[in-house]
Amino acid sequence: MHNNALKKTGLQRFLVNFGKQKYVFMLLIPGLIWYIVFKYVPLWYISMAFTNTGTTANPVFIGLQNFKRLFLSPHFSRAFWNTLIISLYSLLFYFPLPILLALMMNEIRKQAFKRAVQMVVYIPHFFSWVVVGGLFTIMLSPENGIVNEVLKMLGHDSIYFMASNKWFRAVLVSSQIWKDVGYGTVIYIAAISSIDMELYDAAAVDGAGHWARMVNITLPSIRSTIATVLLLTVSRIMQIFEQVLVMFNDSVMDVADVLRTYAYREGIRNGDIGYATAIGLFTSIISLILIIGCNMFSKHILHEDIM
């Protein structure tokens, strides 16, 4: 009886609190519907990875034949290594920049100037990859693009960046930095703003300069945020698609074709749904392995257990 009374009391408290915040919970409904429709419902069709769906009118179970074909395909090997290399470049060159930019902006004392900088670096995040791809194509044009005009002024020949195997990956990373660095910066600025200012005041009294306060107060205080963003970044490593699809062309296929564009060609263009599903399932498994590895790294190196 006593346990039932406690459970009833707890349920009543939950219902009361839910009633007070019901409009906040209602805001979750569109997001939940989106995840259910586009993330969970498609899981039902994973079984197609083990069939020859799309290649025959009456698909049948073929076991691991799609995966065998996958691992023997040179196109898959190329897409797999391109995905890892481009993602590694992104981690090395993009991931630290929002942290550095947030630390620098935290040192700005004029609030008007700080807000202006925030707005300038944050606006590109709202551009679609179609718009970003068009802008970079224009800026990097070998005929009248601003980058090549500068190179000509310096005495260099024009470079066709968008069709160069040497430069295309740099274009991908640069466009990602330009588009998303502001969004990442806002996340870290929000984390920094929650730090107790008395810590900085006490450190200043002890004679700590800007660098010492940054290293000993700011960075340790946002360590959990860094670990969380790192995990989210790693979780998207194998999911590169829209940016590459918009910007690549046949000239750079050898260095730009990634797993999801490969799956798109096989499934949508060629109609081999079973094989494309096998590519997607393999991609998801590798993503899961990377996420678990990232969490282990965060736990033992950053001392932050995210999951």
Task: Please answer whether residues 306 and 298 qualify as being in contact, where contact means their C-beta atoms are separated by less than 8 angstroms.
Answer: yes
Per-residue burial over 86-103, b if 16 or more Cβ lie within 10 Å, else e, is bbeebeeebeeebbebbb
Q: Is residue 86 part of a domain?
A: yes
At 23, the pLDDT band (50, 70, 90 cuts) reads confident
Radius of gyration of the chain (CA): 25
Q: Is residue 50 part of a domain?
A: no
The end-to-end CA distance of the chain, in Å, is 37
Q: Is residue 204 part of a domain?
A: yes
Answer left, alpha or beta for residue 156, where phi above 0 means left and psi between -120 and 50 means alpha: beta
What is the spatial distance between Cα 152 and Cα 149, in angstroms, rounded to a whole number? 5
SS3 of residue 142 by DSSP? coil
Please tell me what DSSP assigns to residue 159: -
Q: Is residue 229 part of a domain?
A: yes
Q: What is the pLDDT of residue 24?
A: 81
Which residue's structure tokens are 């590895």? 293
pLDDT digit string (tens) for 238-265? Answer: 889 999 999 988 899 999 999 999 999 9
Give the lowest-confidence range in 18-27, 72-81, 165-174. Answer: 18-27
Instruction: Give the predicted TM-score (pTM) of the model.
Output: 0.83
**In total, how many domains does the chain have?**
1
Q: Is residue 116 part of a domain?
A: yes
Using the predicted structure, report yes or no on whether residue 236 has a pLDDT greater than 90: no
Q: Is residue 3 part of a domain?
A: no
Q: What is the pLDDT of residue 178?
A: 93
Domain with 121 in it: 66-302
Q: Is residue 264 part of a domain?
A: yes
Taking residues 271-292, what's their average pLDDT? Answer: 90
Which domain CATH number covers 297?
1.10.3720.10
Q: What is the pLDDT of residue 10?
A: 67
* Number of other CB atoms surrounding residue 160 within 10 Å: 15
Using the predicted structure, report yes or no on whether residue 184 has a pLDDT greater than 80: yes
Residue 283's φ and ψ, nearest 5 degrees, are -60, -40
Q: Is residue 138 part of a domain?
A: yes
303 compared with 91, residue with greater pLDDT: 91
- Of 233, 235, 214, nearest to 225 (Cα)? 233
Taking residues 96-106, what's their average pLDDT? Answer: 90
263 compared with 11, residue with greater pLDDT: 263
Please tell me what DSSP assigns to residue 39: I
